[in-house]
Amino acid sequence: MTFSANLILDFVASYLWAFSRIAAMMMVMTAIGSKTVPIRIRLFYALSVTLVALPVLPPLITNIELFSFNSFIVVMQQILIGIAIGTLSVFLVQTFVIAGQIIAMQTSLGFASMADPMSGQTSPVVAQIYVLLVTLLFLAVDGHLLMIEMIINSFQTIPISEQGLLAADYYKISGWFSTMFHAALAFSMASIVAMLLVNLSFGIMTKAAPQLNIFSLGFSISMVFGLFVLWITLQNVPLHFENQWIKVVTTMCEVLNNPCVKQ
């Protein structure tokens, strides 16, 4: 059995272009794309998924040579599509990171900081607690499998070509910058109000009895109340995660022109 050079180049091109889209998503997405997962593991994972998905992918509708400038444009378009989908899952986690930072500032727990395993940056421990919870919830609902399914189905709705996402799609993704802050504020509002009442009580006590020197004790008492408020509000994490996850999946479906799959 002999294989022509054109046949081999077409196979390599189809694999490379599909791999670019899938690998770009896996290098960015939540859990799999975190700093704690070695790059080599993510690379082999993307190679395996691409190899398994390649037989079910639609045939190429373009006759672009592998070693050409047009092929470079195709690769960049696939990378942008993958990064766009993976970034949406990152926005999901960053929503709770912002909420944790707000709660940490209000409860005087912001002094305790540690390195974020997802981004490598330093953030309050409260935000890290939410990151761990949200990551576990993301894996529990098979979010990583759903994203892989959606990126594979996207080859039907957005075929491999020099045309990628539209400007309207990037606009939808950029709208998540405001959605993150809105959702984070809604999630942390209960803690903000609770700590406001505590600080208001301290102010009334200081005004009524200045000799008690409330300011010397207020910091430690605020931290104790902050831990109590944090413990009470943990039960709201699954509900807020569900709301944000539905929005993320809906945005992915709109960007990829897919009918929304079962969530």
Taking residue 175's Cβ as centre, other Cβ atoms within 10 Å add up to: 11
The residue-averaged pLDDT of 232-253 equals: 90
pLDDT score, position 263: 45
Higher pLDDT, 259 or 23: 23
Q: Using one digit for the tens of pLDDT, what is the confidence trace for 127-158? A: 888 888 999 999 999 999 999 999 998 888 88
pLDDT score, position 65: 75
Higher pLDDT, 117 or 247: 247
Is residue 49 within 8 A of residue 43, CB to CB? The reply is no
pLDDT score, position 251: 92
Q: Using one digit for the tens of pLDDT, what is the confidence trace for 8-24? A: 677 777 788 889 999 99
Please give the sequence-ordered ranges of beta strands (E in DSSP) within the chain, or none if there are none.
113-115, 122-124
Coil vs helix vs strand at 115: strand
Q: Using one digit for the tens of pLDDT, what is the confidence trace for 88-127? A: 999 999 899 888 888 888 776 766 666 665 656 667 778 8
The answer to whether residue 245 scores a pLDDT higher than 90 is yes
* Cut 0.85: pTM above it: no
Residues with Cβ within 8 Å of 23's Cβ and at least 6 positions away in sequence, in order, are 42, 43, 46, 47, 50, 82
Question: d(Cα 173, Cα 248) in Å, to the nearest integer?
Answer: 10
Question: d(Cα 78, Cα 258) in Å, to the nearest integer?
Answer: 17
Question: d(Cα 7, Cα 13) in Å, to the nearest integer?
Answer: 10
